[in-house]
Amino acid sequence: LNRVNDPPRKPLRVVVLGSTGSIGVNTLDVVAHLPDRLQIAALCAHASWETLFAQARQFSPRYVVLTDATAFEQCDRSQLPPCTQLLFGPDAVAKIVSEPDVDAVVSAIVGAAGLTGTWAALEAGKLVALANKETLVVAGSLVVELARKHNARIVPVDSEHSAIFQALTGHGAHEVERIVLTASGGPFRGRTRSQLEAVTVDEALRHPTWRMGPKITVDSATLMNKALEVIEAKYLFALSLEQIDVILHPDSIVHSFVEFVDGSVLAQLSPPDMRLPIQYALLYPERVSGPTKRLQWRELCSLHFEQPDRETFPALNLGFEVLRRGGTCGAVLNAANERAVELFLCGELRFLDITRACADVLASHDYLVNPSLDELWASDRWARQEVSRWTRLQHRSPTP
Ligand SMILES: NC(=O)c1ccc[n+]([C@@H]2O[C@H](COP(=O)([O-])OP(=O)(O)OC[C@H]3O[C@@H](n4cnc5c(N)ncnc54)[C@H](OP(=O)(O)O)[C@@H]3O)[C@@H](O)[C@H]2O)c1
Question: Which amino acid, one-letter code, is at 163?
Answer: A
Contact between residue 241 and residue 324 where contact means Cβ atoms under 8 Å apart = yes
Question: Which amino acid, one-letter code, is at 338?
Answer: E
Residue 396 confidence (pLDDT) above 90: no
Q: Write the pLDDT tens digit of every residue in 299-355.
A: 888 999 999 999 999 999 999 999 999 999 999 999 999 999 999 999 999 999 999
**Ligand 1 atom at minimum distance from 214 CA:** 20
CB atoms within 10 A of CB 348: 15
Contact between residue 332 and residue 358 where contact means Cβ atoms under 8 Å apart = no
Residue 19 confidence (pLDDT) above 70: yes
Q: Which of 29, 72, 154, 212 to mutate to test the pocket of ligand 1 (most atoms within 8 A of CB)?
A: 212
Does the beta carbon of 65 lie inside 6 Å of ligand 1?
Answer: no
Q: Which of 54-68, 99-113, 293-307, 308-322 has the lowest mean pLDDT?
A: 293-307
Which band of pLDDT confidence, cut at 50, 70 and 90, is reported for residue 24? very high
Does the beta carbon of 48 lie inside 6 Å of ligand 1?
Answer: yes
Q: Measured between alpha carbons, how far is 177 from 155 in angstroms, rounded to an integer?
A: 21
Residue 398 confidence (pLDDT) above 60: no
Residue 94 confidence (pLDDT) above 90: yes
Nearest to 277 by CA among 256, 298, 259: 256
Which band of pLDDT confidence, cut at 50, 70 and 90, is reported for residue 2? low
pTM of the model: 0.96
Burial of 334 (0-12, 13-18, 19+ CB in 10 A): buried
Q: Which of 27, 109, 119, 210 to mutate to test the pocket of ligand 1 (most atoms within 8 A of CB)?
A: 109
SS3 assignment, position 28: helix
Residue 72 confidence (pLDDT) above 60: yes
Q: Which of 1-5, 196-200, 243-247 has the lowest mean pLDDT?
A: 1-5
Nearest to 256 by CA among 190, 265, 220: 265
| Pairing mode, strands 85-88 and 63-66 | parallel
User: According to the model, what pLDDT value does residue 1 have?
Assistant: 58
Residue 7 confidence (pLDDT) above 80: no
Does the beta carbon of 67 lie inside 6 Å of ligand 1?
Answer: yes
User: According to the model, what pLDDT value does residue 211 have?
Assistant: 87
Average pLDDT over residues 26-45: 98
What percent of the chain is predicted at pLDDT more than 70?
97
- Across the chain, what does the average pLDDT equal? 95
Give 293's DSSP letter: P
Which residue's CA lies nearest to atom 44 of ligand 1? Answer: 110
Residue 4 confidence (pLDDT) above 70: no
Give CA 171 to chain center in angstroms: 25
Does the beta carbon of 308 lie inside 6 Å of ligand 1?
Answer: no
Residue 8 confidence (pLDDT) above 80: no
The C-alpha angle with vertex 293 and arms to 289 and 297, in degrees rounded to 5, equals 110
Distance 3 CA to ligand 1 centre (A): 39
DSSP H helices, 134-263, are 134-149, 159-168, 193-196, 201-204, 214-222, 224-237
Q: What is the DSSP string of 176-211?
A: EEEEEEEE---TTTT--HHHHTT--HHHHT--SS--
The C-alpha angle with vertex 26 and arms to 20 and 31, in degrees rounded to 5, equals 105
SS3 assignment, position 13: strand
User: According to the model, what pLDDT value does residue 208 have?
Assistant: 86
Task: HSE, CB side, 13 Å, CA atoms: give it for residue 15.
Answer: 33
**Ligand 1 atom at minimum distance from 19 CA:** 43
Does the beta carbon of 213 lie inside 6 Å of ligand 1?
Answer: yes
SS3 assignment, position 294: coil
Nearest to 88 by CA among 98, 99, 74: 74
Give 128's DSSP letter: E
User: According to the model, what pLDDT value does residue 6 have?
Assistant: 62
Give 306's DSSP letter: B
Q: Which residues contact 156 (CB under 8 A, 6 or more apart)?
A: 130, 162, 164, 165, 232, 236, 277, 281
Contact between residue 111 and residue 19 where contact means Cβ atoms under 8 Å apart = no
